[in-house]
Amino acid sequence: MNTNNKRSTKTASAPKKPSSRTTKVSKTTAGTSDDTIRSKPRNGRTAARKVSTTNGDNRNGDHSGGSNGSIESNNSNRSSTAVSPGGSGTRSDSTYKKVPLKRSSFKLTEEDLYLINDNKGLVELLRAKNIKLKEIFETLKYERELENLQIELVKLQRWIQETGQRVAVLTEGRDAAGKGGTIRRFTEHLNPRALRVVALPKPSEQELGQWYFQRYSKQLPNKGEIVFFDRSWYNRAVVEPVMGFCTDEQYKRFMQQVPEWEHMLYEDGMKMIKFWFSISKNEQERRFEARRTNPLKQWKISPIDEKAQALWDRYTEYKEEMFSKTHTSFSPWIIVKANNKKLARLESIRHVLSLFDYPSKNTKLRLHEDPNIVGRFHRGSIKID
């Protein structure tokens, strides 16, 4: 072999400079992920190249490489872009478009920046911008307390799973009393595999011919499970007789059977917590109005809601009768003053946590409910509904 041939061989095997070397990469509209392909040339040096592939990790390109070190996609219909060996290639403007960000109308002046250098200045600034400090501090305090209590709920649920407890939490109350919102705060960070939220629709024709408790018996908690009832079998104690959805005979039979049924559940080892969320007539009307004007809450409006205010006193009569006949030592009613939604949620969670002795309980937190907001029913208690 002559000298000229040796020189030509060395020239062909030597890698090209990074500035002149490009790699064509296929792009798909389904989104891409970057994989690094390393090849070892004959001279022993490793060259890293970025290759864009689909999310399914389907590499259709020819990775054998040629003398120019490029990687070509088999699919000629896909657009390609040049990428440098270091992976910092230029992307096609037609594939990646800049999305303009919405800018806030709130702007800080030089004077504002001077004010926020200390606490007093920050307070003055917030007041000057018509921001209500009291509401901000109350919201921050509420969110901090709620998070701490939800951490305890996670510990409680884990203990219930490990020990095989069965827990049923009933939330009852007038329309717009905050039952659903409280359940959401209970369940927000719990394991959905070990809890259920039950909100049954009106009974079907088949269910109307069954024993009244039969469809609720199917929803009771299994071993290691918590079940939250957004309204329960106590529909027959208040809503159904007021609205004429049951006969007087059916109502009387229910009131006679429900303490006995709940006592059997208690003897079988199930823990039952019965909440009644109590709100005033004015607060209920205010919340109804909020539902009418808020498009995100209009789904909550029902024909029963429209009659709730007119039938307020009739609801009160049946509610009091329910308490007198179904409040027992093994299944007591817990009354929650719910005109303030946030306080009602926090104190309801505290009441549930106080009932169980689970491991790693945070004794530094206040886990006992405020008796001015949550307490057992008794006939001499001050009523707001």
Per-residue pLDDT of 275-306, as tens digits, reads 999 999 999 999 999 998 888 888 888 888 88
Q: Is 361 exposed, middle or buried (0-12, 13-18, 19+ CB in 10 A)?
A: middle
Round to whole Å and give the CA distance between 222 and 235.
Answer: 23
- Which residues are 34's β-sheet partners? 52
Per-residue pLDDT of 28-70, as tens digits, reads 444 444 444 444 444 444 444 443 444 444 444 444 444 444 4
Provide the pLDDT for residue 102: 59
Residue among 226, 217, 237 nearest 169 (CA): 226
Which tokens go with 299? Answer: 């789904």
Residue among 231, 199, 219, 237 nearest 319 (CA): 237
333-337 and 374-376 strand pairing: antiparallel
Q: What is the mean pLDDT of residues 262-284?
A: 97
Per-residue pLDDT of 135-152, as tens digits, reads 777 888 999 999 999 999
Enter the CATH code of domain 133-376: 3.40.50.300
Please enumerate in sequence order all residues whose Cβ is within 8 A of that of 290, keeping only pairs 6 or more positions apart, or say none.
297
Out of 10-19, 110-119, 156-165, least confident range: 10-19
Give the Cβ contact number of residue 265 at 10 Å.
Answer: 17
Break the chain into its structural domains and give their ranges: 15-83, 133-376
Structure letter (DSSP) for residue 180: H
Residue among 169, 108, 179, 189 nearest 351 (CA): 169
The residue among 141 and 380 whose pLDDT is bigger is: 141
Give the Cβ contact number of residue 72 at 10 Å.
Answer: 17
With contact defined as beta carbons under 8 Å apart, do 156 and 190 qualify?
A: no
Q: Record the pTM.
A: 0.68
Provide the pLDDT for residue 132: 75
Provide the pLDDT for residue 299: 86
Round to whole Å and give the CA distance between 66 and 38.
Answer: 14
